[in-house]
Amino acid sequence: MYTILLDNSLLFTYCVRRAMDEEIDHSEIGLKAGLEIHQQLDTRTKLFCNCPTTLREKKDSTFAFKRYLRASKSEMGEVDRAAREEAKYSRTFMYKCYDSTCLVENDEEPPRELNREAIDVSLEVALLLNMNPVDEIHTMRKIVIDGSNTCGFQRTALVATDGLLSADDVPVRVDSLCLEEDAAQKIEAEGSAVGYSLDRLGIPLVEICTAPDIRTPEQAVKVAEQLGMILRSTGKVKRGLGTIRQDINISIAAGARVEIKGVQNLRLIGEIVKNEIVRQLKLIALKEELNKRGARVEHRIKDLSGIFKATSSRVIQKSGGNVFGVCLRGFSGVLGTEIQPERRFGSELADFAAMYGAGLMHTDELPAYGISEDEVERLKRTFDATDNDCVVIVAAERARAEKALKAVLRRAEDAMREIPKETRRALPNGSSAYMRPLPGAARMYPETDVPPVNIDEQRLHAIKTNLPETFAHRNARYKERFELNDELADKIARNINFALFEHIMDSYKNIPVTLVVRTLTDTLTELIPDGIDVETLEDHHFMDIFGQLSTNAFGKEAVPDILKFLAKKPELSVEKAIEEIGLSVNMGEVERLIENIVNAKKDFIKEKGAHAVGPLMGVVMTELRGKVDGKLLNKIVAEKVKEVLKED
Ligand SMILES: [Zn+2]
């Protein structure tokens, strides 16, 4: 397979600067991004019924039922584009119910009045974001047809508009804050059947949308962090994996607007923005390359089953030997070109085939998957394909294969014209995959079952007078109490972990405050590029780490390693981590080790006197870094050196 050298100056500069860790001028690229954050509220009951907001073990389900959903026209008479797309795949939905869910979740009873507690929390957040609350809250319906709600729509209510926050002193407008019901949780998918769990359906969410005022990936992270910090400062939001989800709208001047959904890890946002910039720049370069080559897409789908009669490919055997394919003229090397980490242009096409449950293979990557050289040759011959062309095959029965290949052809044609506007799904490594077209505007209509709620001045006043501490106040308090400098005080006061920070400082005495701040901010961020999922780390992990550190169980240098270990195995204790990483040491052995080092360097010590401690510490630290606190080691080394000097 030959790789394409993408010829595009903007892409080249961007990638080179990124690789060199150099400052990038994002205004050159014309980056515009906005965030949409969904946070579950920790209210006693759900948004439209009195069921509790707790998640259940799926095995405790007491009852299940089935539904078939169809795209229906909205009351405005239009069928949403995304909804229509979804309806192409006819699906059956299975719903799991519990003794903690009721007929409202099942869509057998109308929703009750909006939850008052949830309204109050959302108003509190709105005020913290300097927003203007609406006079009256109206519940609306938003069509969803993926089965994630039993009634076919999600209920949402606008609470406030026109807020403002700042990241790096750049103002970012907050367009809207809505109160919404969470969707049912997808728990299984097999063929055309999808299973959902109703325990999550109806948990109140606030949805906060910023304007597309974000101009750099770093700003995106800062805005997300600040929103997270403000939400947490209310003390009334749920914590833990899956309780906060971010969507990002991204566009670059020469590209298209794309919405990336379902980022669960706040710190991954920067990577996602960077990877989307690269994806779009590379798609532009691929488009130029394809047009230069005069590439074209042939719509002739051929039955290729004959070629694979005696194949040893498992994938093809499993499809009953059914193989269909198309030829993309002038596409050689294009499908094999990497456009995001671990994703090639072929993966983009494969996303479309996967919508119809079909896998895709192409001659850029073949022979592989048990397909032989000879079979590849015969594939090419069937299409009269030259070395410039790419043959794409799908192993599935005719109807499915044809649908899948038609979708692939449409995407390939787009590649020569423009970057498609689309909704994508965030992947754990910071890449993204195609999900569906961008939804259109005809998505909302009034929910007549839920009465509007008037927000009176008295209520607003009560919330206003009880707002949590502001960021500026907290910042000043940290400076005074912990003697932090501006940078560190700002960092932790804005950080989502500020409450945990205070808890650690209140619980353990002799712990350096700088270490705690760095650990909860920079250290966690630095672990992300190594592929460490720091979101699995919970408050108790940090409490344990600093608890153990306060008893000198290990040296502070080992904190990042312990975090890495626990992020991978969050069920284990810090003690176990210390043991497994090999940090547990016997102080007797440490003294003996230092003695050996000192004894071997007696001449050096006699020559340098007390100045020998520094160089000796270097040797000792290479052996014991992270295992024993550096200060303690320094003390032992100094004592041993003193003893040697006394010898004469
Ligand atoms: Zn209920």
Q: What is the pLDDT of residues 472-528, one digit of tens each?
A: 888 999 999 999 999 999 889 888 889 999 999 999 988 899 999 999 998 988 887
Which pLDDT value is given to residue 79? 54
Which pLDDT value is given to residue 1? 45
**Is 284 in contact with 11 (CB distance < 8 Å)?**
yes
Cα(202) to centroid of ligand 1, in Å?
Answer: 8
Cα(265) to centroid of ligand 1, in Å?
Answer: 29
Cα(139) to centroid of ligand 1, in Å?
Answer: 17
Cα(52) to centroid of ligand 1, in Å?
Answer: 8
Cα(54) to centroid of ligand 1, in Å?
Answer: 11
**Is 263 in contact with 269 (CB distance < 8 Å)?**
yes
Which pLDDT value is given to residue 249? 95
Cα(643) to centroid of ligand 1, in Å?
Answer: 75
Cα(184) to centroid of ligand 1, in Å?
Answer: 12
Cα(243) to centroid of ligand 1, in Å?
Answer: 19
Cα(203) to centroid of ligand 1, in Å?
Answer: 10
Contacts of 488 (CB under 8 A, 6+ apart): 514, 517
Q: Which residues of the chain have pLDDT under 50?
A: 1-2, 74-76
Which pLDDT value is given to residue 3? 56
Residue 128's CB is within 10 A of a number of other CB atoms, namely 20
**Is 560 in contact with 526 (CB distance < 8 Å)?**
yes
Contacts of 313 (CB under 8 A, 6+ apart): 369, 370, 371, 375, 395
Cα(254) to centroid of ligand 1, in Å?
Answer: 47
CA distance 478 to 472: 10
Burial class of residue 220, CB neighbours in 10 A (0-12, 13-18, 19+): buried
Contacts of 339 (CB under 8 A, 6+ apart): 278, 279, 282, 283, 286, 345, 348
Cα(235) to centroid of ligand 1, in Å?
Answer: 24
Cα(102) to centroid of ligand 1, in Å?
Answer: 4
| CA dist list (Å): 124 to 45, 173, 207, 454 | 18, 18, 13, 16
Which pLDDT value is given to residue 148? 92
Cα(367) to centroid of ligand 1, in Å?
Answer: 54
Cα(510) to centroid of ligand 1, in Å?
Answer: 49
Cα(446) to centroid of ligand 1, in Å?
Answer: 21
Cα(108) to centroid of ligand 1, in Å?
Answer: 11
Contacts of 335 (CB under 8 A, 6+ apart): 328, 344, 345, 346, 349, 362, 364, 365, 390, 392
Residues 563, 567, 573, 577: is their CA dihedral positive or negative? negative
* Residues at Cβ < 5 Å from ligand 1 ion: 49, 51, 102, 104-105
Cα(268) to centroid of ligand 1, in Å?
Answer: 34
Cα(241) to centroid of ligand 1, in Å?
Answer: 23
CA distance 341 to 358: 23
| CA dist list (Å): 19 to 13, 23, 149 | 10, 11, 44
Cα(70) to centroid of ligand 1, in Å?
Answer: 24
Cα(101) to centroid of ligand 1, in Å?
Answer: 5
Cα(44) to centroid of ligand 1, in Å?
Answer: 12
Task: Indicate the DSSP class of residue 441.
Answer: S
CA distance 483 to 473: 15
Length, in residues, of the chain:
648
CA distance 206 to 131: 14
Cα(532) to centroid of ligand 1, in Å?
Answer: 37
Contacts of 255 (CB under 8 A, 6+ apart): 280, 281, 283, 284, 419
